[in-house]
């Protein structure tokens, strides 16, 4: 579910409700996520105030007090975060509950447990190096030229490589290439300059449009207030195998690339 636009949507909601609030208690009900939640997380976070909420790629970061500590969250495939008015009413797969000083509570929910919650020194060593964030700037045709030069891997796989560009997942990589008119299987190093420029422009346009609509809700993604996104109704190709291309009516094709379902219009994308 959560790619950059969805994480940005969650971050905006958390920013409004959380900045300036103090986290009073942290309850960990299930620590077996992608990596186990550290045993000292509750002790480190309890009693601290959230001073800012930021996002890099698909990572959510809550800065705590001003002493250089931050809470890091990743929503994995099925993670959601919600804010509710009290600290009761916990449901199945609600793994962490943070009670706030205004009586409300922030809840991390993740059925598949591919998500991540940890605490670390702010700006400190990330577990893995993250590439440029395509919304916060830095994703340019020059950069794309530099990271694709001499590479044979399919452009879609490269766009989804978090160590190069942080935040694109399977939905948006497919959609961006559809808007840019580029075949997902195209060898990265063989793109024309015009195609690289089209991909960079499409990335900005698709992500901006998705963020404006609160992301895409497949299954049950929602923002911190429980509202669903609306971008899924505008997909050009994702999950549209056999349906007509919205531009030329040609049947959308599906193939597997890097183990992930890949959709494209064989006529509009070259």
Partner DNA sequence: CGCACCCCCTGCCGGC
Partner DNA sequence: TGCCGGCAGGGGGTGC
Q: Which is nearer to DNA, 2 or 181 (CB)?
A: 2
Q: Which is nearer to DNA, 103 or 255 (CB)?
A: 255
For the four alpha carbons of 83, 86, 92 and 95, in that order, the dihedral sign comes to: positive
Interatomic CA distance for residues 145 and 193, integer angstroms = 8
Q: Which is nearer to DNA, 34 or 120 (CB)?
A: 34
Contacts of 70 (CB under 8 A, 6+ apart): 61, 62, 63, 64, 119, 120, 121, 122, 123
18: closest CA among 73, 58, 57? 73
Interatomic CA distance for residues 164 and 45, integer angstroms = 31
174: closest CA among 81, 57, 106, 261? 261
Interatomic CA distance for residues 165 and 162, integer angstroms = 5
Q: Which of 48, 58, 213, 240 is catalytic?
A: 58
30 is catalytic: no
3 is catalytic: yes
Residues that bind DNA (CB under 7 A): 1-3, 6, 32, 34, 57-58, 74, 76-78, 92-93, 111-114, 127-128, 151-154, 157, 160, 162, 169-171, 215-221, 229, 256-261
Q: Which is nearer to DNA, 15 or 153 (CB)?
A: 153
Interatomic CA distance for residues 154 and 258, integer angstroms = 9
Instruction: Provide, rounded to whole angstroms, the least separation between the CB of residue 49 and DNA.
Output: 29
149 is catalytic: no
Residues marked as catalytic: 2-3, 58, 260
């Amino acid at each position: 579910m959560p790619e950059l636009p969805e994480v940005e949507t969650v971050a905006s909601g958390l920013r409004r409700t959380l900045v300036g609030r103090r986290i009073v208690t942290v309850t960990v009900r299930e620590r077996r996520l992608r990596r186990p939640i550290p045993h000292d997380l509750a002790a480190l976070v309890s009693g601290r105030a959230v001073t800012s909420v930021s996002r890099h790629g698909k990572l959510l970061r809550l800065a705590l007090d001003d002493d250089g500590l931050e809470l890091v969250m990743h929503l994995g495939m099925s993670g959601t975060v919600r804010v509710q008015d009290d600290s009761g009413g916990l449901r199945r797969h609600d793994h962490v509950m943070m009670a706030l000083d205004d009586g409300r509570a922030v809840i991390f929910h993740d059925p598949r447990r591919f998500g991540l919650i940890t605490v670390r020194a702010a700006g400190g060593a990330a577990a893995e190096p993250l590439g440029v964030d395509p919304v916060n700037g830095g994703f340019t045709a020059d950069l794309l030229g530099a990271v694709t030069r001499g590479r044979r891997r399919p452009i879609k796989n490269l766009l989804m490589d978090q160590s190069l560009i942080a935040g694109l997942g399977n939905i948006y990589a497919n959609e961006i290439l559809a808007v840019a008119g580029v075949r997902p299987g195209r060898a990265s190093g063989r793109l024309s300059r015009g195609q690289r420029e089209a991909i960079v422009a499409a990335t900005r346009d698709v992500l901006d449009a998705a963020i404006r609509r609160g992301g895409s809700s497949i299954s049950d993604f929602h923002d911190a207030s429980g509202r669903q996104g609306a971008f899924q109704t505008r997909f050009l190709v994702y999950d549209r195998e056999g349906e007509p291309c919205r531009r030329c009516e040609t049947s959308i094709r599906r193939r597997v690339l890097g183990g992930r379902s890949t959709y494209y219009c064989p006529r509009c994308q070259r």
